[in-house]
Amino acid sequence: MVYGGEEALRRQYSIGDEIGHGRFGTVRRCHSNATGEALALKTTPKAPLRDPLDLALAEQEPKLHLLASSPPCSPHLVALHAAFDDADAVHLVVDLCAGGDLLSLLFDAATGALKLADFGSAEWFGDGRRMSGIVGTPYYVAPEVVAGREYGEKVDVWSAGVVLYMMLSGSVPFYGAAAPEIFEAVLRGNVRFPPRAFAGVSPEAKDLMRRMLCKDVSRRFSAEQVLRHPWIASCGGDAVAG
């Protein structure tokens, strides 16, 4: 799956305009020289990655993305077509998703298939292993991560709870003007449902969010419990799980 460096990349793909960028990397349009297929190219330069953890995450992203997309691959996952790695950067060729992000789709009342993308901060859990270190976007990161404690897979349940809250209200549950204020709100963990934003949201949905956004990790739902919750079942639990 890793096919060499930038020289090999440019032999196989024609690279176009930038369509997005993040803290460390950029995303550009590209086309396969063999088939003409329109794709996206994510490039993460290694020079700005002064933290060894950031560099390690960038270099292992192709492997994790490949593992996640192994057959049977979910239709809700951005497919990895090729990876190129050299001394200067990591390049990933992935599906081109031109429909915008989740919130833009919700506000525009558009239709389309949601796809999970960007494994730059991902880690592989297994055998009861715990993790440490602050990794993630402030609005979505779990309180045990912010507190500097070791953590497990329930941090993903917390993050999914934040996404669900945003989908149902159009706002984030823990807000601050800058990262320190956001982290303080996350550590307090006070989940509120303003009547104006949640007027049409059922008690069952609010119950699920409270259980996903529970500051006490021992009481927070697991992913399996989330999928068995009555609100998920009422939305078509099998479809959600798929």
How is residue 62 written in tokens? 């192709």
Q: Are 145 and 136 contacting, i.e. CB atoms less than 8 angstroms apart? A: yes
Does 42 count as an annotated binding residue? yes
Concatenated DSSP letters for 137-199? -TTT--HHHHTT--B-THHHHHHHHHHHHHHHHSS-SS--SSHHHHHHHHHHT-----TTTST
Q: Which of 33, 32, 24, 40 is nearest to 89 (CA)?
A: 24
Name residues whose C-beta falls within 8 Å of residue 125's C-beta, 6 or more positions apart in sequence.
131, 152, 153
Q: Are 204 and 226 contacting, i.e. CB atoms less than 8 angstroms apart? A: no
Binding residues are 42
Binding residues for ATP are 42
